Amino acid sequence: MAETTANSDAASSEPAQKRGFVQSLEIDIRLLGMIAAFIVICVVFNLLTGGRFLTPRNIFNLTIQTVSVAIMATGMVFIIVTRHIDLSVGALLATCSAIMAMMQTAWIPQFFGLEIGHPMIPWITIIIGIAIGTLLGSFQGWLVGYLAIPAFIVTLGGLLVWRNVGWYITNGQTIGPLDETFRAFGGISGTLGAQWSWIVGALLAAGALYALMAARRAKLAHQFPVKPMWAEALVALFAVGGILGFIAILNSYQVPERVLQRQFAARGEEVPEGFTAAYGLPISVLLLIAIAVIMTVVAKKTRLGRYIFATGGNPDAAELSGINTRMLTVKVFAIMGALVAISAVVASARLANHSNDIGTLDELRVIAAAVIGGTALAGGVGTIYGAILGALIMQSLQSGMAMVGVDAPFQNMVVGAVLVLAVLIDTIYRKRTGDR
């Protein structure tokens, strides 16, 4: 007893000078592992496809295909961290999508008398859609938190219910075309263009630098040890380089000539000689970035986030500390519902219409993304950036295999195997490092 105390104290009070390269950077090793896995996947597929995988066009497509699942995965982190599960997200997405499709094409024009194409329609649709998603999420959270029905059962029921509520609302029909402004949230039909992309990129880079500086200043103010300046600079360099590099890649994806011709023809003009335009940052990706930042702040810097992780770590301790864990469950599921509704906007806008099978199997992709991203099903552990990276890894695998020409059944087999393998590696890693 006394020995172990002495040992552990000695280990922790060891002077900070003898730290390794990675420790000095103070970066999550799990994050480094995921980034490495992602890079390996990209490089391998790039070789297999003869350089077609890492083109600006494919990277652009990859990001917009990832957004919907990634947005939901950030919410799933909170759900799994609090030791719950949500199997209903794909089905709930279909219900939200169906409601929003019907609102903009039928209900608002019929009952509010706004003509199709009225500029208010997409915004009313989105606000009501998110409100409904939040409400349905809270309802499931209430069933779990207050009525103590296991989340697995509530959301398994929800999977059947919401899938078919969506079907009932639309009579199983495909609803479209969706409003043009609404479709701008889908990806390729709503991008910022080169100039605005650079502006946003610069703002993001400045924000990242400020966050790093503020963290260092807070530590210095209380005379806590800080990492060496070179490590700080290296992290900053990677952050800024990553952000601006990403923008540069998206900006180098040129709008094809015939698309430009169509755009100009619609205005009755000719395409000027030598005119080119870049797509730049899609609005949907900007939306994902905003959600990622907000969710990270919630997780790390708010009481709500602290209670979510405390409850996941030890529900009894959380309850005894005066945290209302039942209400917390409702809040976590409400956040999930809101994010599902936002994903519904992105997913249906990307397809330009609502189809009956939208979001099918998304629950599994979302859970897999969160788990590959290091969220522990035992609760208490998980990160937002991990879940987004997990979604990106899954999507890269899937599109990469499609590009290489792997048959569809094999694609899903590989993705399934990768999920199991990722958890195995994580389990071994945790055992080695003595983490829980």
Length of the chain: 436
Regarding 159 and contact with other proteins (CB under 8 A), the answer is: no
Q: Is 212 in the site for other proteins (CB under 8 A)?
A: no
How many other C-beta atoms can be found within 10 angstroms of the C-beta atom of residue 273? 5
Residues contacting 435, CB < 8 A, separation 6+: 381, 429
Q: Is 310 in the site for other proteins (CB under 8 A)?
A: yes
Nearer to other proteins, 273 or 316 (CB): 316
Q: Count Cβ atoms within 10 A of the Cβ of residue 113 and give its class: 0-12 exposed, 13-18 middle, 19 or more buried.
A: exposed
Choosing from 152, 303, 410, 421, the residue that interacts with other proteins (CB under 8 A) is: 303
**Calpha distance 78→329 (Å, rounded):** 10
Burial class (CB in 10 A: 0-12, 13-18, 19+), 281: buried
Under the criterion CB under 8 A, does residue 213 sit at the interface with other proteins? no
Q: Which class for 9: exposed (0-12), middle (13-18), buried (19 or more C-beta within 10 A)?
A: exposed
Q: Does 434 bind other proteins (CB under 8 A)?
A: yes
Residue from 43, 131, 219, 290 touching other proteins (CB under 8 A): that is: 219
- Smallest gap from Cβ 146 to other proteins, in A, equals 14
Applying CB under 8 A, which of residues 221, 229, 266, 408 lies at the interface with other proteins?
Answer: 221
Choice from 322, 405, 408, 409 touching other proteins (CB under 8 A): 322
Are 371 and 415 in contact, with CB atoms under 8 Å apart? no
Alpha helices in 82-192 (DSSP H): 89-102, 121-145, 151-170, 180-183
148 lines the binding site for other proteins (CB under 8 A): no
| 377 contact partners, CB below 8 Å, separation of at least 6 | 80, 85, 371
Regarding 387 and contact with other proteins (CB under 8 A), the answer is no
One-letter amino acid for residue 152 of the chain: F
User: Is the distance from CB of 28 to CB of 433 less than 8 angstroms?
Assistant: no
* Span from 150-158, 248-256, 266-274, 297-305 in contact with other proteins (CB under 8 A): 297-305
Binding flag, residue 431, other proteins (CB under 8 A): no
Torsion from C-alpha of 130, 387, 398, 240, nearest 10 degrees: 100
In whole angstroms, how close is the CB of 305 to other proteins at the nearest point?
Answer: 8
- Does the protein bind other proteins through residue 324 (CB under 8 A)? yes
Closer of 320 and 408 to other proteins (Cβ): 320
Binding span for other proteins by CB under 8 A among 111-119, 284-292, 318-326, 402-410: 318-326
Q: Select the span of 7-15, 46-54, 190-198, 256-264 touching other proteins (CB under 8 A).
A: 7-15
CA distance 56 to 296: 28
Which residue in the set 173, 236, 254, 319 belongs to the binding site for other proteins (CB under 8 A)? 319
262 binds other proteins (CB under 8 A): no
The nearer residue to other proteins, 49 or 324, going by C-beta atoms, is 324
d(CA 221, CA 204): 25
Residue identified by tokens 């609760």 is 379
Q: Check binding of 17 to other proteins (CB under 8 A).
A: no
Q: Is 224 in the site for other proteins (CB under 8 A)?
A: yes
| DSSP reduced 3-state for 100 | helix
CB of 428 to other proteins, least distance (A): 18
Identified binder of other proteins from the candidate list 92, 323, 367, 415, rule CB under 8 A = 323
Tell me, letter by letter, the H, E, C secondary structure of 13-56.
HCCHHHCCHHHHHCCCHHHHHHHHHHHHHHHHHHHHCCCCCCCH
By the rule CB under 8 A, 19 interacts with other proteins: no
Q: Which of 119, 321, 402, 421 binds other proteins (CB under 8 A)?
A: 321
Q: Judging by beta carbons within 10 Å of its beta carbon (0-12, 13-18, 19+), is residue 405 exposed, middle or buried?
A: exposed
Residue 9 within binding range of other proteins, rule CB under 8 A: yes
Report the 10 Å Cβ neighbour count for 282.
26
Q: Does 15 bind other proteins (CB under 8 A)?
A: no
Q: Is 222 in the site for other proteins (CB under 8 A)?
A: yes
Question: Residue 13, interface with other proteins (CB under 8 A)?
Answer: yes
- Does 1 bind other proteins (CB under 8 A)? Our answer is yes
Nearest approach, Cβ of 374 to other proteins (angstroms)? 13
- Chain residues that interact with other proteins, rule: CB under 8 A: 1-2, 4-5, 8-9, 12-13, 218-219, 221-222, 224, 297, 300-303, 305-307, 309-314, 316-324, 380-381, 434, 436
